[in-house]
Amino acid sequence: MYLWFKLLHIFFIIAWFAGLFYLPRIYVNLAQVEPGNRGEYQRLLGMAERLFKFMTPLAVGAVVFGFAIPFVTGWWGQGWVHTKVTLGVILLGYHFYCYRLLLDFQESRNRYSHKWYRVFNEIPVLIMIIALYLVVFKPF
């Protein structure tokens, strides 16, 4: 059972992260659209909306199988698992903040520059590196 949960967790994580990496890149482009170019803005906004709808079920799958693995392996007592779960919760917060930003774009209330979104886009990369370290080395 563990290997099936692991396979599904890895699948959902890869797919979810693809969305987490790309959605803020769409936001970079949305933030750069000239004010009078409604066609371009609407095209990018539609892409962002569809991507968010696509990646949300992937996030659910990643979380479900990510929580199931420690139950079937008995790893809940290990500190690295608690840290990895915390990173997962932070990543869910990032996901929902992406939704908040999407709502702002829908209402034409973007407050951030394209440079801010470029930095914001790096957060999941850092979380992924830390999570991979925890899983591979199980340091505590």
Give tens-digit pLDDT for 6-17: 999 999 999 999
Are residues 47 and 53 in contact, defined by beta-carbon separation less than 8 angstroms?
Answer: no
Alpha-carbon distances, residue 87 vs 3, 36, 57, 72, 90 (angstroms): 22, 40, 19, 20, 5
Query: pLDDT tens digit string along 105-131?
Result: 999 999 999 999 999 999 999 999 999
Which of 95, 76, 84 lies closest to 24, judged by CA? Answer: 95
Residues 82/88, Cβ–Cβ less than 8 Å: no
Is 6 marked as binding a ligand? no
Residues 104/111, Cβ–Cβ less than 8 Å: yes
Q: What is the pLDDT of residue 43?
A: 98
What does the alpha-carbon distance between residue 118 and residue 5 come to, in Å, rounded to a whole number? 33
Intervals of the chain under pLDDT 50: none
Nearest CA to 59 out of 18, 16, 89, 97 is that of: 16
pLDDT, position 5: 98
138 assigned to a ligand binding site: no
- For 7, 25, 27, 49, 115, the CA distances from 112, given in Å and listed in that order, are 38, 13, 10, 18, 8
- Report how far residue 135's alpha carbon sits from residue 140's, in angstroms, rounded to the nearest whole number: 11
pLDDT score, position 135 = 95
